[in-house]
Amino acid sequence: MKKAFLFALLFCASVTAYAQQQIPKIGIIDYTKIVQRMMPSLDQLQEIKNIKQAIEDETASIEAEIATLEREKEDIAARSHYSDATDEIDEQITSLKYYLNQFVEEKNKELEEKKVLVPDTAEIISKIVNQIQYVAESEGYSVIFDSKDKNIIWWTHSVDITDKVMKKLRL
């Protein structure tokens, strides 16, 4: 009887110890959905691209016009030693250079104002990862997988923490 009782006690202790082992809690997250919500809109990025293109186009146009005027000035100077025409061309060149400097300065200010409104990608990713880690740790998850992972065949929505992370990120 004592042996049976000791065996039963040992068996119960083994089962209890085995049951207390931590079973990994696995979570799923739609990482792409979160990143897309946090990234700047395509309109903002397009505005920045358009400003850069306007600077390049206008700079090329004005520089070509200046080059043409300088060639014209050289031709006039080659024909005669001094002319009022060369003075007039110098004024036009000076005026164009001034306009170009003002234009580039103004567009660069506009570009910087737009860039301030667009958050840094590395900063966004860091915030997302920190919030995923916070939610996972606070809710006892051992592993979090991306729902777009081709190796994941099926999961239940009860392990999807996307909405919880988005709530923490205030999306």
Q: For residue 58, what are the contacts with CB-CB under 8 A and spacing of at least 6?
A: 100, 103, 104, 107
**Each residue's pLDDT tens digit, 114-133:** 888 887 788 888 999 999 99
> The pTM is what?
0.53
Q: Is the pLDDT of residue 7 over 70?
A: no
What is the DSSP secondary-structure string of 138-157? HTT-SEEEETT-TT-----G
**Each residue's pLDDT tens digit, 18-56:** 545 668 899 999 999 998 888 877 788 888 899 999 999
pLDDT at position 116 is 83
**Each residue's pLDDT tens digit, 80-105:** 766 777 888 899 999 999 999 999 99
Q: Is the pLDDT of residue 77 over 90?
A: no
Question: Residue 82 and residue 144: Cα distance in Å, rounded?
Answer: 80
Question: Residue 92 and residue 98: Cα distance in Å, rounded?
Answer: 10
Q: Is the pLDDT of residue 9 over 90?
A: no
Mean residue pLDDT of the chain comes to: 85
